[in-house]
Amino acid sequence: MKNPTITRLLTLFILVLFVGGCQTNNQTESLQEEETSQSKEELKPGPITLVIHGGAGTILKKNMSPEREAEYRAKLEESLNTGYEVLKKGGTSVEAVIATLQVMEESPLFNAGVGAVFTNEGVNELDAAIMDGASGMAGAVAGVRTIKSPIEAAYQVMTNSKHVMMSGKGAEDFAASRGLEVVDNSYFYTERRYNSLQKAKEREADEASAMLPYQDWKYGTVGAAALDQDGNIASGTTTGGMTNKRFGRIGDAPIIGAGTYAHNESCAISATGHGEFFIRNVVGYDIAALMKYKGMSITEAADEVVMKKLVEKGGSGGVIGLDRQGNVMMTFNSEGMYRGFIKEEGKPQTFIYKDE
């Protein structure tokens, strides 16, 4: 450019444009910051909360003795109180889930740990998973026969290995190497579950009928979801699977995204029911995805998946879960589900039947 005045003016013009542009960007950024802190404010985590299930199925009041019902309610309460104490003392949601589920694993009332259902071979094969909603890390074990606490083994897989799921002998060796208690398979034996296996075998006339859903299905897989003082959520599930299972069948409980799922941005979920349906429909993650991508509440999302999708496909069962605000969900399409929750004030609420 030949004229120096024009060159100077042009340079000034470009400079003004540049500074103006920067300011606009800065304003946009600070507006975005404001919005983000506003939405963070709106979504402030709720107070400590814990929700559990002890299995879903054909659970009818007419078939339950008052003594039996009292036993279930007492154990559900004990489990809730145990997890609550962990949360109250500032423990993490992962710690609360483990403590809660260990009470249920040790109780013969539920289909997990002691009292697990039997395989066709007449042994107990256990599945469990845990997921930490804060880190997105997860751990699971499948088809294990000698680990006293499968949920603790799942935790070890999550925290002390590079893997997400371990199965059978390998999982047992790993758990032992982590110092977990190893027991004989007979530790899990209960006469009641053994009798259920005999009945299931009698019903099973041929290979084809083994593919049909059980007529009188009421098994007690256990699961928990917790929200801790730091606003982090987690969930876990532990089970013996389904009576008379064979060929190393694995259910939904240890499958991340199916029977167990947790992420701070959506929810923490644990399922119980006819596992094959829960696996095929990726139930846990489907609920989380409806919340994340469609903005549904946890109850709306669970209704959509459990009360519509699964019902249409013939998949019976239920889910429990919570979100970071402490909204609790307990949704099931079966006759009943052992379930309960406890909130900040520390009063456990338990339920069994449909219309409670």
Q: What are phi and psi of 46, to 5 degrees?
A: -80, 180
User: 221, 238, 243, 350: which one is catalytic?
Assistant: 221
The answer to whether residue 221 forms part of the interface with ligand ASP (CB under 6 A) is yes
Tell whether residue 306 is a contact of ligand ASP (CB under 6 A).
no
Binding to ligand ASP by residue 180, rule CB under 6 A?
no
3-class DSSP assignment, residue 95? helix
Q: What distance in Å separates the CA atoms of residue 217 and residue 210, rounded to the nearest whole number?
A: 13
Q: How many CA atoms lie within 13 A of 310 on its CB side?
A: 33
Residue of 108, 236, 241, 257 that binds ligand ASP (CB under 6 A): 241
Report how far residue 162's alpha carbon sits from residue 179's, in angstroms, rounded to the nearest whole number. 18
Which of residues 111, 156, 270, 316 is near ligand ASP by CB under 6 A? Answer: 111
41 near 231, Cβ under 8 Å? no
Can residue 318 be called a binding residue for ligand ASP (CB under 6 A)? no
Interface with ligand ASP in residues 18-47 (CB under 6 A): none
Select 91 or 318, whichever has its Cβ closest to ligand ASP: 318
When the beta carbons of 84 and 332 are compared against ligand ASP, the nearer one is 332
**The one segment of 96-104, 135-143, 173-181, 269-277 that binds ligand ASP by CB under 6 A:** 269-277
Among 139, 273, 284, 321, binds ligand ASP (CB under 6 A): 273
Interacting residues with ligand ASP between 72 and 91 (CB under 6 A):
none
Asked if 59 and 337 count as a contact pair (C-beta separation under 8 A), the reply is yes
Least distance CB 166 / ligand ASP (angstroms) = 17
The minimum distance between CB 219 and ligand ASP, in angstroms, equals 4
Residue 45 C-alpha from the chain's centroid: 19
C-alpha torsion sign, points 86, 92, 98, 104: positive
Interface with ligand ASP (CB under 6 A), residue total 14
Judged by CB under 6 A, the residue of 275, 315, 340, 348 near ligand ASP is 275
Instruction: Give the CA-trace dihedral at 183, 79, 112, 317, to 10 degrees.
Output: -170
If one asks whether residue 124 binds ligand ASP (CB under 6 A), the answer comes out as no
Q: Are 284 and 261 in contact (CB under 8 A)?
A: yes
Smallest gap from residue 43 Cβ to ligand ASP (A): 31
C-alpha angle 201/207/213, rounded to 5°?
A: 70
Q: Which C-beta is closer to ligand ASP: that of 92 or that of 243?
A: 243
Shortest distance in whole angstroms from residue 111 CB to ligand ASP: 6
- DSSP-H helix ranges across the chain: 4-42, 66-88, 93-105, 150-160, 168-177, 191-203, 275-280, 283-294, 298-302, 310-313
Which positions are catalytic? 221
Which residues of this chain interact with ligand ASP, rule CB under 6 A?
Answer: 55, 111, 219, 221, 239, 241-242, 251-253, 259, 272-273, 275
